[in-house]
Amino acid sequence: MALEVCVKAAVGAPDVLGDCPFSQRVLLTLEEKNLPYKMHLINISDKPQWFLAISPEGKVPVFKNDDKWVSDSDVITGILEEKYPEPSLKTPPEFASVGSKIFGTFVTFLKSKDSSDGSEKALLDELEALENHLKTHDGPFIAGGKVSAVDLSLAPKLYHLKVALGHYKSWSVPESLPHVHGYMKALFSLDSFEKTKTEEKYVIAGWEHKVNP
Ligand SMILES: N[C@@H](CCC(=O)N[C@@H](CS)C(=O)NCC(=O)O)C(=O)O
């Protein structure tokens, strides 16, 4: 039986794969594990009844596991690792939280209208911490030469950071963080990433209502 996953459709284009970073994380995990799957695109501004019945919070991603629908990308990727251990995507515990504050600080900075509120500095501090990790460990990925779960969580978030901050704030990751640049390049050139990413215009459209509420 094919695995099934509900993911976000693009804003304004319900037949196109959308911009949810948590949905992409699950798709990346399925791709890296070479698992065939059936994808359902969910228009989150007009959620179908059948979707609301399987996702009580109305959130994507949702994944069908043994006839039961399960939500939350942390839970789903944990189940995939347990049920399909090969190839392993386990991140060694000491590296599991590298970069974990980047997405939150990025969203705060993106939404900020006050250039002196410290939100840019907070994001830069997190990116510098990532730079230091990458500089002092073998790469190109967080845990070395092989991509692992932490990379698959960070990749869509860094893509959003690059596209949304570039568009809405003309901001880009400073050149003084070359290892972060190299890391992003390595992530974005993975075949699995190419296959599961949405177009930049849909990332931009997806953030519009949060940036200009
Ligand atoms: N913690 C959840 C977050 C999922 C989430 O926030 N999904 C968003 C799209 S990126 C969503 O479904 N929003 C729809 C809504 O809130 O109505 C996960 O990791 O899966």
Question: Ligand 1 site: residues with CB under 6 angstroms?
Answer: 8, 20, 22, 44, 58-61, 72-74
pTM (global) more than 0.85: yes
Q: How far is the CA of 193 from the centre of ligand 1 (A)?
A: 19
- Is 20 designated active site? yes
Q: How far is the CA of 19 from the centre of ligand 1 (A)?
A: 11
pLDDT in tens, 56-113: 899 999 999 889 999 999 999 999 999 999 999 999 999 999 999 999 999 999 999 9
Q: Whose CA is nearest to atom 11 of ligand 1?
A: 59
pLDDT of residue 2: 78
User: What tokens were used for 133?
Assistant: 């990790």
pLDDT in tens, 165-183: 999 999 999 999 999 999 9
For residue 48, whether the previous peptide bond is cis, meaning omega lies within 30 degrees of 0, is no
Q: Rounded to whole angstroms, how far apart are CA atoms 17 and 201?
A: 12
Give whole-number Cα distances, 96 to 100, 107, 149, 205, in Å: 8, 21, 8, 31
Structural contact between residues 145 and 87, judged by C-beta atoms closer than 8 angstroms: no
Averaged pLDDT, 1-19: 94
Q: pLDDT-derived band of residue 126, with 50, 70 and 90 as boundaries? A: very high
Structural contact between residues 106 and 159, judged by C-beta atoms closer than 8 angstroms: no
The residues pairing with 68 across neighbouring beta strands, listed in sequence order, are 65
Q: Which regions of the chain carry the CATH code 1.20.1050.10? A: 93-211
Q: Rounded to whole angstroms, how far apart are CA atoms 42 and 169?
A: 29
CATH topology of domain 3-83: Glutaredoxin (3.40.30)
The residues pairing with 3 across neighbouring beta strands, listed in sequence order, are 37
pLDDT in tens, 131-145: 999 999 999 999 999
Q: Which regions of the chain carry the CATH code 3.40.30.10? A: 3-83
Structural contact between residues 130 and 99, judged by C-beta atoms closer than 8 angstroms: yes
Checking if the pLDDT of 20 tops 70, the result is: yes
Residue whose structure tokens are 């970073």: 21
Substitution candidate for ligand 1 out of 8, 17, 19, 20 with most atoms within 8 A of CB: 20
Q: How far is the CA of 46 from the centre of ligand 1 (A)?
A: 15
Task: Name the CATH architecture for the domain at 93-211.
Answer: Up-down Bundle (1.20)
Q: Which of 5, 20, 158, 163 is catalytic?
A: 20
